[in-house]
Amino acid sequence: MRRALVFFLVLGVASAAVGAPTFFVAPNAHPGSGSDNDLAWQAAVGAFLEADFDIVSAGAHVVSITDPFVTMTTMLGGLGGESGNPEAFAGSWGGASAGSVYGTIYDIGLLNRDQSGAIHSDFVFSFNQPVAGIGAWLYDNNASTAESMILQITEAGGAVSSSGLLESGNLTAHFVEGFLGATSTLGITEARFIVVDDQGDPAQRYFELDHLQWGEPVPVVPVPGAILLGSIGVSLVGYLRRRRSL
């Protein structure tokens, strides 16, 4: 019993040394276009994979994405219910003047509409093992009001954190808002890209996501604090044993 208590204490102290997640909120310049808003996230996350949904047939609903390392379930949630899968949507993105160039929102992207036609406020991506980061390009597609987006992540261990608002400043609609991403040293188990209204509240309004990017799995290894504390523990046991032999 004593060993178990010491073990959990070491884990608790070591976890406190791990940094908070880092968010990358990179709005697209308005008017105009750019495709390098994701470079800072890519540099921070290191190795990553990317899904360009141009290979998906328009009208299909994406249920999951599998790469050589992880499996990601792709759902819709928030307002509209925690159910259904996003639609591959061939949109008219407005061209370069609306921020639509290859590498952003282009050709086919994911739409927050499920198989029944219901609109949801959240794109939800869940990983079967924690990954080092996630990010995506986002598009405001409501014709009458301006929306912003936030990213909410759940890390290994259950901590939930949210980004600031992604807003290009176009103040209307039909514009690539920019890139939104996060990295985590603990690993991300779930990510929600959420559309919000001008009050910052989740909204059931159309928006799209494209060029989804995610990092490789976070290896489960002792963090430096745990290694140090473990060494101290081993040294202490050795000392006590020597004391008994005197």
CATH of the domain at 72: 2.60.120
Segment 70-89 mean pLDDT: 97
Segment 19-32 mean pLDDT: 90
- How high is the pLDDT of residue 62? 97
Q: Which two tokens stand for residue 210?
A: 């494209």
**pLDDT reading at 2 higher than 70:** no
Q: How far is CA 159 from CA 6, 7, 15, 32, 133, in A?
A: 23, 21, 12, 37, 15
Residue with tokens 């927050």: 112
Angle between helices 2-15 and 224-245 in degrees, nearest 10: 150
Rounded to two decimals, the pTM is: 0.83
Is 106 within the bounds of a domain?
yes
pLDDT more than 90, % of the chain: 69
Judge residue 36's burial from the number of C-beta atoms within 10 Å of its C-beta, 0-12 exposed, 13-18 middle, 19 or more buried.
exposed
- How high is the pLDDT of residue 31? 83
Q: Which residues pair with 123 in a beta bridge?
A: 76, 193
Distance separating alpha carbons of residues 131 and 158, to the nearest angstrom: 14
Range of the domain at 77: 20-218
Number of domains in the chain: 1
Is 199 within the bounds of a domain?
yes
